[in-house]
């Protein structure tokens, strides 16, 4: 993650001055990134009288700024959906993380011109998005909603929308076939969409966003409803798109989904960016604090007794059906629990952590 | 992996992003989709019902074919089937896309909101024209069989009927699309509009000028004979009657107003789908 300061020269021409430029070879990927020092910016609410401006613009992704968001706000009546967000997004995959209702979808709708900003603006390739149709020639969007022209086949759907990107019938057919192939749906392409499974519908949505080969892509919860194989394919595809130098902005409320795609993240909550930076570093910071793991098995008390001798275990608290174990070394504890249950013949029914999810990150970042 | 500042090199075929090209393309694609839709077939079947009934009359009863044609146009097509067709196609022009949440796909294409709306409206009007003009032609054909008149004598009546139906299809579809854009709901509002303006207003002297039906009757050459006669006598010496071109002019103004306002509103619409 490269951290830059942005010199504001008007939202249409965002100029960036890199403070710590990083070559693409240093681009964090998977576990490699976790070993590299990375900067994490945690954004707290400005103090009274403090000016929020040029210095608070989040810079994420590599290369030039492709998507610029400036002081963007959006209100649903009295409720704020997006609250004064400024972002500079470069190339590569950037994850937008936030719990349900954090404002992710609203932000994406603003970035794709579905909604008109109450204040501020969004530019893609230096062109305002709202009511600027030409911007959409370079933009692909996978919406969250499960909406289609159900009577069409997958191929007709993608071809239809690709033709509306200005391509001739032959070219649109070819591009659609290519995109359908990319999402591994060729065999089912001539079936009607109403007959598709949830995962297939998700993939055909992705195909329509890819067919015209846009340079900027927005994915809103792209993995919802997909099976593990489909999920893996979509994750790989998103990573490939980022590696090709496209700007890919992916929203999700599930941490491990985003973690599999990128380590560059923007965390939002209640419509505000609460942190941006390297996901692995944020998790490391969390890991420095005790974790609470919930365990449920057939003989809770006996199993808990097995765990008490370990030094990292600081507390065990029993509940109605299981127990909570607090540990200072979550990685070791996560491995130990299933191993011990197997070795001693306990039936492990559940092992979950309230701390290993997005809520934990938010509890950590937003006290 | 690419270098940091390098823009992605993406090869794709040439394309035309001009508004007329994309607008016409949307029109043709949407027209094709609508014409094949089951609801269109249902509507055409409904529109053909008077033709079937007319055929029964012509075959088994001794009726004046041209009189039957005229009465069917005046009392069935213009006041009832024509608004029904427009309600079918005009209202859902945009509302169906919003309710089906497919509007997102359309608004993410590189065509302006105005072009998008106008292309969709033109498509709806085209389907409405096909669904209403063909049954009128079929009705004329059936009625001609039952008429002893030479074809040449009946053509002016056919021309007037087709003109009124065409103007009606355009105007009603534009009005229902306008209601759809304004309120994102069409059926109930469309019915309210129909009852208030096209049934109640159309029966009141002077006020009737606000209804489309009045002007369609003018174009078709029908007098205001279906109004409550006592109201006429209270207000006017005799019913209002105008030349056909006046009907075209007023209906055209109504359609233009509906199209312009709904396009302006649609340009600023936000979609919370």
Task: Check residue A12 and give its pLDDT.
Answer: 37
Residue entry with tokens 């070219």: A171
Question: A103 is written with which tokens?
Answer: 């404002």
10 Å CB burial of residue A339 (0-12, 13-18, 19+) is: exposed
- Across the interface, whether the CB atoms of B113 and A165 are under 8 A apart is answered no
Question: A55 is written with which tokens?
Answer: 């210095």
- Cβ(A88)–Cβ(A14) under 8 Å? yes
Nearest CA in chain B to A218: B108
User: What b-and-e string marks burial along A257-266, b requiring 16 or more CB atoms within 10 Å of the CB?
Assistant: bbbbbbbbbb
Question: A174 is written with which tokens?
Answer: 């070819």
Task: Check residue B188 and give its pLDDT.
Answer: 85
- Across the interface, whether the CB atoms of A24 and B104 are under 8 A apart is answered no
Cβ-Cβ pairs closer than 8 A, A with B, add up to 133
**Which residues on chain A are in Cβ contact (under 8 Å) with B105?**
143, 147, 161, 208
Q: Of B186, B177, B229, whose CA–CA distance to B205 is shortest?
A: B229
- Across the interface, whether the CB atoms of B4 and A212 are under 8 A apart is answered no
**ipTM, 2 decimals?**
0.86
Rounded CA separation B136/B50 (Å): 9
Paired strand residues for B146: none
Among B105, B113, B265, which would you mutate to test the A interface (most chain A Cβ atoms within 10 Å of its Cβ)?
A: B105
- Across the interface, whether the CB atoms of B273 and A149 are under 8 A apart is answered no
Question: B39 in contact with A at a CB cutoff of 8 Å?
Answer: no
What residue spans define the domains of chain B?
21-267
One-character DSSP codes across B93-108: HHHHHHHTT-HHHHHT
> A175 CA to chain B: closest CA distance, Å?
8
- Cβ(B185)–Cβ(B99) under 8 Å? no
Out of B4, B13, B104, whose CB is closest to A114? Answer: B104
Among B11, B15, B27, which would you mutate to test the A interface (most chain A Cβ atoms within 10 Å of its Cβ)?
A: B15
Nearest CA in chain B to A174: B13
**Which residues on chain A are in Cβ contact (under 8 Å) with B263?**
none
**Which residues on chain B are in Cβ contact (under 8 Å) with A114?**
104, 107, 270-273
- Across the interface, whether the CB atoms of A163 and B29 are under 8 A apart is answered yes
Out of B10, B12, B25, whose CB is closest to A163? Answer: B25
Among B1, B17, B97, B103, which would you mutate to test the A interface (most chain A Cβ atoms within 10 Å of its Cβ)?
A: B1
- Across the interface, whether the CB atoms of B13 and A243 are under 8 A apart is answered no
Residue entry with tokens 């969390």: A286
**Which residues on chain B are in Cβ contact (under 8 Å) with A160?**
29, 33
Task: Check residue A192 and give its pLDDT.
Answer: 96
Paired strand residues for A220: A251
- Helices vs. strands in chain B: H and E counts, helices first: 12, 0
pLDDT along chain A (367 residues), means of 10: 37 34 34 38 47 62 91 92 93 90 92 94 93 91 92 96 96 97 95 94 96 96 83 92 94 81 88 81 67 86 92 89 86 85 87 65 64
Contacts of B246 (CB under 8 A, 6+ apart): B215, B218
Catalogue all structural domains in chain A, each as residue range(s) with its CATH number.
Answer: 4-284 (3.40.50.300), 289-365 (3.30.70.100)
State the SS3 of chain A.
CCCEEEECCCCCCCEEEECCCCCHHHCCCHHHHHHCCCCEEECCCCCCCCCCCHHHCEEECEEEEEEEEEEEEEEECCEEEEEEEEEEEEEEEEEEECCCCCCHHHHHHHHCCCCCCCEEEEEECCEECCCCHHHHHHEEEECCCCCCCCCCEHHHHHHHHHHCCCCCHHHHHHHHHHHHHHCCCHHHCCCEHHHCCHHHHHHHHHHHHHCCCCCEEEEECCCCCCCHHHHHHHHHHHHHHHHCCCEEEEEECCHHHHHHHCCEEEEEECCEEEEEEEHHHHHHHHHCCCEEEEEEECCHHHHHHHHCCCCCEEEEEECCCCEEEEECCHHHHHHHHHHHHHHHCCCEEEEEECCCCHHHHHHHHCC
**Which residues on chain B are in Cβ contact (under 8 Å) with A140?**
108
Question: B27 in contact with A at a CB cutoff of 8 Å?
Answer: no
Q: Of A302, A318, A272, whose CA–CA distance to A56 is shortest?
A: A272
- Cβ(A219)–Cβ(A241) under 8 Å? no
Question: B41 in contact with A at a CB cutoff of 8 Å?
Answer: no
- Cβ(B44)–Cβ(B136) under 8 Å? no
- What proportions of chain A, in percent to the nearest 5, are helix, strand and coil? 35, 30, 35
Rounded CA separation B194/B171 (Å): 13
Mean pLDDT over B2-12 rounds to 66
Collapse the DSSP code of A261 into the 3-class scheme (helix H, G, I; strand E, B; otherwise coil) and give the result: helix
pLDDT at position B13 over 80: yes
Q: How many CB atoms lie within 10 A of CB B273?
A: 18
Furthest-apart CA atoms within chain B: distance in Å: 87
- Across the interface, whether the CB atoms of A143 and B104 are under 8 A apart is answered yes
**Which residues on chain A are in Cβ contact (under 8 Å) with B273?**
114, 143, 145, 147
Rounded CA separation A142/B132 (Å): 39
Question: What's the start-to-end Cα distance of chain B, in Å?
Answer: 36
> A55 CA to chain B: closest CA distance, Å?
22
**Which residues on chain B are in Cβ contact (under 8 Å) with A24?**
1-4
- Cβ(A246)–Cβ(A234) under 8 Å? no
B273 against A78, higher pLDDT: A78
Rounded CA separation B273/A178 (Å): 28
Rounded CA separation B31/B42 (Å): 16
Query: What angle in degrees, to the nearest 10, is found between the helix axes of A279-287 and A358-365?
Result: 80
> A247 CA to chain B: closest CA distance, Å?
9
Question: B13 in contact with A at a CB cutoff of 8 Å?
Answer: yes
Question: B26 in contact with A at a CB cutoff of 8 Å?
Answer: yes
pLDDT at position B96 over 80: yes
Paired strand residues for A82: A74
- Across the interface, whether the CB atoms of B37 and A212 are under 8 A apart is answered no
Rounded CA separation B194/B186 (Å): 11
Paired strand residues for A84: none
Nearest CA in chain A to B101: A147
Question: B225 in contact with A at a CB cutoff of 8 Å?
Answer: no
Query: What does pLDDT average to over chain B?
Result: 88
- Across the interface, whether the CB atoms of B112 and A131 are under 8 A apart is answered yes
- Cβ(A234)–Cβ(A206) under 8 Å? yes
> A310 CA to chain B: closest CA distance, Å?
44
Out of B101, B108, B113, whose CB is closest to A131? Answer: B113
Q: What is the pLDDT of residues B32-70, one digit of tens each?
A: 999 999 889 999 999 999 999 999 988 887 778 888 999
Collapse the DSSP code of B61 into the 3-class scheme (helix H, G, I; strand E, B; otherwise coil) and give the result: coil
One-character DSSP codes across B188-210: HHHHHHIIIIIIIGGGSTTGGGG
**Which residues on chain B are in Cβ contact (under 8 Å) with A245?**
2, 6-9
Task: Check residue A223 and give its pLDDT.
Answer: 87
């Amino acid at each position: 993650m490269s951290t830059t300061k942005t010199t504001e020269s008007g939202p249409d021409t965002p100029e960036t001055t890199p403070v710590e430029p990083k070559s693409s070879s240093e681009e964090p990927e998977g576990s490699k990134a976790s070993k590299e020092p990375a900067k994490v910016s945690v954004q707290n609410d400005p103090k009274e009288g403090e000016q929020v401006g040029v210095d608070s613009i989040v810079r994420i992704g590599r290369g030039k700024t492709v998507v610029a968001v400036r002081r963007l706000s959006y209100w649903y009546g009295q409720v704020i959906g997006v609250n004064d967000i400024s972002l500079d997004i470069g190339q590569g995959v950037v994850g937008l993380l936030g719990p349900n209702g954090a404002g992710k979808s609203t932000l994406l709708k603003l970035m794709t011109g579905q909604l008109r900003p109450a204040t501020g603006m969004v530019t893609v390739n230096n062109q305002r998005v709202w009511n600027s149709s030409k911007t959409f020639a370079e933009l692909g969007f996978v919406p969250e909603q499960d909406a289609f022209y159900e009577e069409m086949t997958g191929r007709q759907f993608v071809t239809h929308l690709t033709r509306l990107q200005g391509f001739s019938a032959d070219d649109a057919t070819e591009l659609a076939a290519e995109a359908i192939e990319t999402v591994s749906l060729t065999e089912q392409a001539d079936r009607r969409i109403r007959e598709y499974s949830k995962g297939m519908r998700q993939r055909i949505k992705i195909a329509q966003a890819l067919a015209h080969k846009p340079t900027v892509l927005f994915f809103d919860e792209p993995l919802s409803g997909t099976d593990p194989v489909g999920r893996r394919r979509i994750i790989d595809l998103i990573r490939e798109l980022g590696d090709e130098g496209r700007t890919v902005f992916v929203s999700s409320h599930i941490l491990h989904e985003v973690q599999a795609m990128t380590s560059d993240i923007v965390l939002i909550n209640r419509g505000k960016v609460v942190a941006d930076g390297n996901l692995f570093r944020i998790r490391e910071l969390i890991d420095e604090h005790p974790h609470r793991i919930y365990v449920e098995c057939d003989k809770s008390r006996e199993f808990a007794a097995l765990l008490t001798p370990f030094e990292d275990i600081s507390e065990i608290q029993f509940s109605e059906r299981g127990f909570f174990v607090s540990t200072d070394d979550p990685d070791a504890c996560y491995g130990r629990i299933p191993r011990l249950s197997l070795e001693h013949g306990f039936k492990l029914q559940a092992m979950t952590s309230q701390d290993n999810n997005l809520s934990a990150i938010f509890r950590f970042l937003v006290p | 992996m690419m270098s940091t500042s390098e823009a992605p090199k993406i090869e794709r075929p040439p394309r035309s992003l001009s508004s007329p090209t994309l607008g016409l393309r949307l029109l043709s694609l949407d027209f094709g989709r609508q014409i094949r839709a089951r609801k269109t077939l249902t509507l055409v079947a409904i529109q053909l019902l008077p033709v079937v009934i007319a055929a029964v009359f012509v075959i088994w009863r001794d009726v004046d074919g041209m009189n039957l044609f005229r009465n069917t146009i005046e009392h069935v097509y213009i006041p009832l089937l024509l608004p029904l067709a427009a309600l079918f196609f005009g209202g859902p022009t945009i509302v169906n896309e919003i309710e089906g949440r497919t509007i997102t796909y359309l608004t993410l294409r590189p065509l302006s909101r105005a072009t998008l709306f106008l292309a969709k409206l033109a498509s709806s009007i085209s389907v409405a024209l096909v669904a209403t003009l063909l049954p009128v032609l079929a009705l004329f054909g059936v009625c001609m069989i039952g008429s002893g008149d030479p074809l040449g004598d009946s053509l002016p009546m056919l021309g007037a009927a087709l003109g009124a139906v065409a103007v009606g299809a355009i105007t009603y579809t534009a009005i229902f699309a306008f209601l759809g854009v304004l309120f994102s709901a069409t059926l109930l509002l469309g019915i309210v509009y129909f009852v208030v303006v096209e049934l109640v207003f159309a029966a009141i002297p002077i006020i009737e000028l606000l209804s489309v039906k009045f002007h369609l009757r003018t174009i078709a050459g029908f007098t205001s004979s279906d109004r409550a006669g006592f109201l006429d006598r209270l207000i006017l010496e005799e019913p209002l009657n105008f030349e056909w071109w006046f009907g075209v002019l007023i209906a055209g103004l109504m359609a233009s107003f509906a199209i312009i306002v709904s396009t302006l509103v649609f340009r600023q619409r936000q979609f919370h789908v």
